[in-house]
Structure 1
Amino acid sequence: MNKAVAIKDLGLKDYKETWDYQESIFREVVNIKINNRKTETFLETPNHFLFVEHPHVYTLGKSGKMDHLLVNEAQLAAKGAKFYKTNRGGDITYHGPGQIVGYPILDLDNFFTDIHKYLRLLEEMVILTLADYGLKGQRSKGETGVWLDVGTPFARKICAMGVRASRWVTMHGFALNVNVDLGYFDMMIPCGIKDKAVTSLNLELGKKEVPMAEVKASLLKHFAQLFDADVHTDEIQP
C-alpha cells in the first residue's frame, strides 16, 4: 500500500486543460491496476494531489440541471466565464480566482475502499482548516460540502465538493472559497440548492485577502493526518 502522495500546484490554469491533465493521470493509475490484475504483478499505484485556481468557469455534474445556470452564453462571455458539463458527481458549481481547488487523484486501495468515508474525510479536512482560522465549519445533512451556521437562517456554503471514482481511483474534488468574488455565484443556483448563501474565508475573517499558500499548507497538514498519507507540506512543486 503506497501512502506517498505527490503534491503539485498548477497555479492559474484553464479548467478544460486541467480536466484533461487529471484524466491522463487517472487513466495511468487505472491502467496500472488493470495490468496488475491481468499479469498478476504488483506494481505500486501512485497518488496525486493537485492544487489549482481556475479562470471564471461554471461546471455541471452528472446529476445537475441546466436551468441551475441562470445566464445564457452571451452573458457568460460578457463576464469572461466558460461553461462545461463534467463527469463528476453533484450539480452546478463555480470556480474562479481566489478559490483553492483541490483534485486528489488517489488509489483508495492504498488507503481504504469507501467512497462515503472519502467524502467525509475531505469535508473534515476543510472543517479542521477552518478551525485553524477560528471558524466552525459544519456538514449539512444530505448536502455534500462544508457550511457555516447550519440550521439557522444564516446558513452559507464555503466549500463545494464533487468527485468521480472508478476502480477505487478518484478524481475531481473540492473548491474552497478563500478570496473569491462572490458576485459570480449570483449567476447560478449553487449546487442546485435554492435560498442558501455562499461565503468565503476572507469575508468571514473580515480581511481583504487571506494568503492562499497558508491555507493550502493547512489543508495538506490535515489531509496527511486524516488519510495517514506521506505528504510533505513544504515541498509543493509548481
Structure 2
Amino acid sequence: MAGGAAGGRVASVSGRVASVSHGETSCRASGQPIEVHELGTIDYLTAWRRQQELATARAEGTGPDTLLLLEHPSVYTAGKRTEPEDRPRDGTPVIDVDRGGKITWHGPGQLVGYPILRLADPVDVVDYVRRLEQALIRVCERFGLRTGRVEGRSGVWLAADGERPERKIAAIGIRVQRGVTMHGLELNCDADMAEFDRIVPCGISDAGVTSLSAELGRDVTVAEALPLVREAVPEALEGTLPVTECDVRKQQEAPAGVTFALDPELR
C-alpha cells in the first residue's frame, strides 16, 4: 500500500493530490492542488513548528496550501477552552496549544491531519469544520461504519446503541489566523483507547470515544486509513464531496434493501 510501512505505520512521503476541480463550491482561496506530505511518526512540538512555518508562508503568499498527514508519539494537548478538571489528575504533562477546543490525546494508532490553507473570503470557519467532518464521515463509510454529527459538538460520532453511549471516533480542533488554517483532525484507527481515561476528552463527560478497530472488530491501521483520508479531505474542501446533515440522533434505520458495508476496494 502506498505510504505503508512495517507494522502498519506510515512512511514519509511527499507529493501532490491529483487536481480536484476548483469552483464556487470550494472553501479555499487557491485553485492550485493541495500539497500532501506524509510524515510518518513525528514529535508534536516539531510538527507544531512545521505548521507555523507553513502557515506563515501561506499567509505571506510564498507557500502553497498543504496537508500534513502523520502520527504522534503519545502526548496530551489542551486547547484554549480546557478546564482544570479536564486535565489528568495524576499530573501527566500536557502541552497547551493555540487551537480551539479542549484537551485531547494524540499517539500511535491515531491518524492526524493538519491542513494549512488559506480560506476563501468571506471566511466561514463553521463551514470549514463541517467539511473536515464530512471527509471523515466519508472515510468511516468506506469502512462500512455509519457515522455522523451530534448537534452542538464537533467531530464525527457513532449513535448510541444498546448499552453503549454516543461515541466519538474522530475529533476536530482548528485555528484560523490571517485567513489561514492550522491544526485539524484526528481519526482513531487502532489507537489505545485507554489513553483517554486520564482526561475528559474534548471536555465531554457524558459520551465515549472509540476507534475503527474497536467498532469493526479487527485491526485497522493508520496505513490502511491514510489513503482514504488523503482522498476525502481535498474533495470535501473543494465541495465535490458535499456537506450533508448526517445527524446521528436523527438517523433512522436503513430502508429495506439498504445496508452499510465495507467498500470492496478495502476487502
Fold shared per TM-score above 0.5: yes
Matched with 1:195 is 206
Contact kept in structure 2, 1:3 and 1:228, CA below 8 Å: no
What letter corresponds to residue 146 of structure 2 in structure 1? Answer: K
Equivalent of 2:179 in 158, 168, 188: 168
Contact kept in structure 2, 1:99 and 1:176, CA below 8 Å: yes
Residue-by-residue CA offset, 1:18-50 (whole Å, 9 max, x unaligned): 101111111111123xxxxxxxxxx7x510000
Q: Residue 135 of structure 1 aligns to a residue in which SS? A: coil
What letter corresponds to residue 9 of structure 1 in structure 2? Answer: E
Equivalent of 1:180 in 182, 191, 207: 191
Measure the CA separation in 2 of the matches of 1:8 and 1:161: 19
What letter corresponds to residue 89 of structure 2 in structure 1? Answer: V
Matched with 1:228 is 238
1:205 equivalent to 2:228? Answer: no
Matched with 2:11 is none
Give runs of ≥4 in structure 1 deviating > 6 Å. none
What letter corresponds to residue 100 of structure 1 in structure 2? Answer: L
1:86 equivalent to 2:97? Answer: yes
Measure the CA separation in 2 of the matches of 1:63 and 1:204: 29
Matched with 2:75 is 57
Measure the CA separation in 2 of the matches of 1:69 and 1:216: 29
1:48 equivalent to 2:58? Answer: no
- Percent identity of the aligned residues? 38
Matched with 2:167 is 156
More helix by share: 1
How far the C-alpha of 1:121 sits from its partner, in A, is 0.5
Matched with 1:15 is 44
Measure the CA separation in 2 of the matches of 1:138 and 1:90: 19
How far the C-alpha of 1:223 sits from its partner, in A, is 1.9
Matched with 1:107 is 118
Measure the CA separation in 2 of the matches of 1:85 and 1:4: 32
Count residues with an aligned counterpart.
210
Q: Residue 60 of structure 2 aligns to a residue in which SS? A: helix
How far the C-alpha of 1:9 sits from its partner, in A, is 1.1
Matched with 1:2 is 31
Gaps of 5+ in 1: 33-42, 77-81, 230-238
Equivalent of 2:87 in 66, 69, 74: 69
Residue-by-residue CA offset, 1:118-166 (whole Å, 9 max, x unaligned): 1000000000100001101110111110110159852111011100001
Contact kept in structure 2, 1:161 and 1:174, CA below 8 Å: yes
TM-score, normalised to structure 2, is 0.74
1:26 equivalent to 2:36? Answer: no
Measure the CA separation in 2 of the matches of 1:200 and 1:177: 5
